[in-house]
Amino acid sequence: MAANKECTFIAIKPDDVQRGLIGDIIKRFEQKGFQLVAMECQQVSKEHLQQHYIDLKDRSFHNALVDYMNSGPVVAMVRQGLKGLNVVKTGRIMLGETNPVDSKPSTIKGDFCIQVGRNICPGSDSVESVEKPNALWFKDDEQV
Ligand code: IDP
Ligand code: MG
């Protein structure tokens, strides 16, 4: 990644791929001006997902979350903006709160879902936490 850029990792979960929401979600980040760095539609292994959700390994819903994310293809992407424009923070605002009940209309979770276990899009929650998922999901030469 260029030194003057900040990246964020965003994904679209299996039932939202099946619901045909990929275009609606991507459009919001395109319109907002987040540059595309990498994107892929892939069915990921449970081992990969256990790594992705390692910080939640002690939570009661961890296994159900891994099984669900493994149940069909997901779309994963990395997007970026100039440093100082806070794409990680802005991305989280665009996504809404983890629980859709708390998400305002016009956010992705506010507009497209009602249930925390089916909440459409995970997204990086801090600049420090971005590198790990980016490296797990995409090789260096898959990020442009
Ligand atoms: P985030 O996706 O908003 O960053 P995290 O706390 O990282 O939220 O949780 C990861 C995923 O775990 C959420 O997207 C959601 O699907 C699921 N999750 C979080 N909290 C709960 C819960 O209380 N019950 C069921 N699933 C949950
Ligand atoms: Mg999270």
pTM score, whole prediction: 0.95
Amino acid at residue number 103: S
Tell me how far the alpha carbon of residue 91 lies from the centroid of ligand 2, in angstroms: 12
Give per-residue pLDDT as tens, 42-62.
999 999 999 999 999 999 999
Number of H helices, E strands in the chain: 7, 3
- CB of 65 within 6 A of ligand 1: the answer is yes
A 10 A CB-CB count for 18 gives 12
Phi–psi pair at 85, nearest 5 degrees: -95, 0
**Average pLDDT score over the chain:** 96
Tell me how far the alpha carbon of residue 23 lies from the centroid of ligand 2, in angstroms: 22
